Amino acid sequence: MFCKRNTLYKSALTLSLVSLGAISAFADDDIGKNEFNPVQTGVTTLSIAPDARGSSMGNLGAATDPDMNSQFWNPSKYAFAYSQGGLSLSYTPWLRKIVNDIFLANLAGYWKLGQGDNQALSASFRYFSLGEVSMTEGNITTQTINPYEFAFDVGYSRKLSEKFSMGVVLRYILSDLSYEDTTSGETNTAANAFSADISGYFVTYPMVGRNECQFSWGFDISNIGTKVSYDHGTTHAFLPTNLRLGANFMFPLADYHSLSLGIDLNKLLVPTKPRTSDFDMTTPEGQADYQTALDKWDEMSPFSAIFKSFSDAPGGFKEELEEIGLSFGAEYAYNQQFFVRAGYNYENSNKGGRSYFAFGAGFSLNVVQLDASYMLATAQSSPLDQTLRFTLTFDMDGLRDLLGRRKR
């Protein structure tokens, strides 16, 4: 019975992993490679950067200047936003080297509250379509499904001092990968979940020589919440709870010219799933030990899992370090109207190997800003290579000024 349930769970998780270009995770685990051991979660699309600005700097955003898409990177930054409010629409064709009907669409925005501009409300809606998927048995297509995932969230951020703010986000998640196993008659259902984010942001303005610079750091713990189940609660998957830490330094190059340099560290706060390759499956004792470890992993609460994730890797401290991803990025700005960006995202090859360079540019008018980014994977065979993102943002202050001038 366990094998049948595991097949259903694995099929659903495989569909979800396709979204990240990490389908090889199961293949490598099946053939018993001990080094390749990525952290497995449900609703993996929550980890995909939605906007062109952050992605063009190698997935950087914990401590960069506030923008319309801070809801994903660090929502506490909204309290320091320069504008009264804004709205952003992003679109990402995903895995276009393989298929042409997978995409991520994201809508995000915020509005400052009160007279002091010390607090803000924010919200975002992301929709990920996995296109049309054919389920087959042998060479026969048994059914065609259209899986998708979406998340809707609302957030509140507030300055606690002149230099520090915190924020909280509440999120509803739906992962619809449902289908029916025509052989067994068992069904794979849609999964629902609720989660929360907690974040903080600090900014100060040190003098370097005669120039006033900007230094900031931030943190964001995202997707702290319930598990998801695709088989009526028989087995469960953790949400991609993630810890992001970042720092950013901006300094002026000359009049109207500035350069920002940043770094982010990311770690999934999810325990490593037991593997058969870590047990002696040729003996009944080894099989029993594996089943016990798997049941313990499946029954672990999401909050216990956060603390367990720092010390449970089979390879010890060395493997725990491999679970930390790094992002380096830079942004050049001319008069806050023209932007050029570049960055690098590193993920250890044993934890998925999704490493790539990123480039991007943006152009801003009073009301509208258009940004684009391009991903260049370090491995030529990577399905994430040549990924494009586009983001269109609207500034409410600029729109209000434009309407005011027209009235006069």
Q: What is the DSSP string of 333-362?
A: EETTTEEEEEEEEE--GGGT---EEEEEEE
For 29, the enclosing helix (H) or strand (E) is: helix 24-30
Span 260-296, pLDDT tens digits: 999 999 999 999 988 888 888 889 888 899 899 888 9
Strands (E), 13-145: 85-93, 103-113, 119-129, 133-137, 140-145
Span 65-93, pLDDT tens digits: 999 999 999 999 999 998 999 999 999 99
Question: Residue 405: its pLDDT value, please?
Answer: 56
The pair of structure tokens assigned to 408 is 């006069």
Percentage, residues of the chain above pLDDT 90: 59
What is the C-alpha separation between 336 and 365, in angstroms, rounded? 9
Question: Residue 116: its pLDDT value, please?
Answer: 73
pLDDT at 184 over 80: no
Span 94-138, pLDDT tens digits: 888 777 889 999 999 999 998 778 999 999 999 999 888 776 666
Question: Residue 331: its pLDDT value, please?
Answer: 98
What is the C-alpha separation between 161 and 307, in angstroms, rounded? 30
Say if strands 214-225 and 324-334 run parallel, antiparallel, or are unpaired: unpaired
Q: Map out the domains of the chain with their CATH numbers.
A: 2-407 (2.40.160.40)
pLDDT at 61 over 70: yes
Span 331-379, pLDDT tens digits: 999 999 999 999 999 999 899 888 999 999 999 988 999 999 999 988 7
Question: DSSP letters along 283-335, please?
Answer: SHHHHHHHHHHHHHHHH--HHHHHHHTTT--TTTHHHHHHTEEEEEEEEEEET
Q: Are 395 and 377 in contact (CB under 8 A)?
A: no
pLDDT at 168 over 70: yes
pTM of the full predicted structure? 0.88
